[in-house]
């Protein structure tokens, strides 16, 4: 019987796709469930603010999931990186954003860092 290591077998790109799908469905609960309980978000899109913990992440995401453009959460590019996953997508306003995800050993998102991105 083979035992899997919790750091192996977690498809981080699939977690990010689930994140994007939850955003598209306006579904804040499943979105937050993808984050670790002590996760943080650093957002250069709104002046460099930081948010930590589930309540702060919910306060950040809830209004963004309610009012967004028809182009919102469109996928531009997704790729694994040395730290996790890099996602280029269109934010709730349809503007290009790059967000970097890092994960814990359970495959939960521990940090996201986003900033405006000039798509090509």
With a pLDDT cut of 70, the percent of the chain lying above it is 92
CB contact at 8 A, 111 and 41: yes
Residue identified by tokens 């799908």 is 21
Residue 50 pLDDT class (50, 70, 90 cuts): very high
pLDDT at 51: 96
- Is pLDDT at 5 greater than 60 in this prediction? no
Q: Tens digit of pLDDT for each residue in 11-42?
A: 999 999 999 999 999 999 999 999 999 999 99
Tokens of 57: 């992440």
CATH annotation of 15-116: 3.10.450.50
Q: CB of 60 within 8 A of CB of 31?
A: no
Query: How high is the mean pLDDT of the chain?
Result: 89
- Residues 39-48 as b/e (b if ≥16 CB within 10 A, e otherwise) read bbbbbebeee
The arithmetic mean of pLDDT across residues 69-96, rounded, is 92
pLDDT at 116: 94
Could you tell me the two tokens for 22?
A: 């939850």
All residues at 6 or more sequence positions from 11 whose CB lies less than 8 Å from its CB, including other chains: 107
Q: Domain limits of the chain?
A: 15-116
Indicate whether 57 pLDDT > 90.
yes
Residues whose CB falls within 8 Å of the CB of residue 106, separated by 6 or more in sequence, listed in order = 6, 10, 36
Pairing of strands 35-43, 109-116: parallel
Note the pLDDT tens digit of each residue in 106-116. Answer: 999 999 999 99
């Amino acid at each position: 019987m083979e035992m899997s290591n919790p750091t192996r077998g977690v498809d981080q790109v699939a977690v990010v796709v689930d994140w994007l799908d939850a955003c598209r469905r306006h579904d804040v609960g499943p979105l937050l469930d993808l984050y670790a309980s002590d996760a943080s978000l650093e957002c250069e899109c709104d002046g460099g603010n930081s948010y930590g913990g589930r309540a702060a992440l919910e306060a950040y995401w809830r209004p963004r999931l309610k009012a967004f453009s028809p182009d919102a959460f469109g996928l531009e590019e997704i790729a694994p990186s040395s730290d996790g996953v890099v996602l280029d997508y269109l934010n709730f306003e349809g503007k290009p954003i790059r967000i970097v995800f890092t994960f814990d050993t359970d495959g939960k998102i521990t940090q996201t860092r986003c900033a405006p991105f000039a798509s090509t």
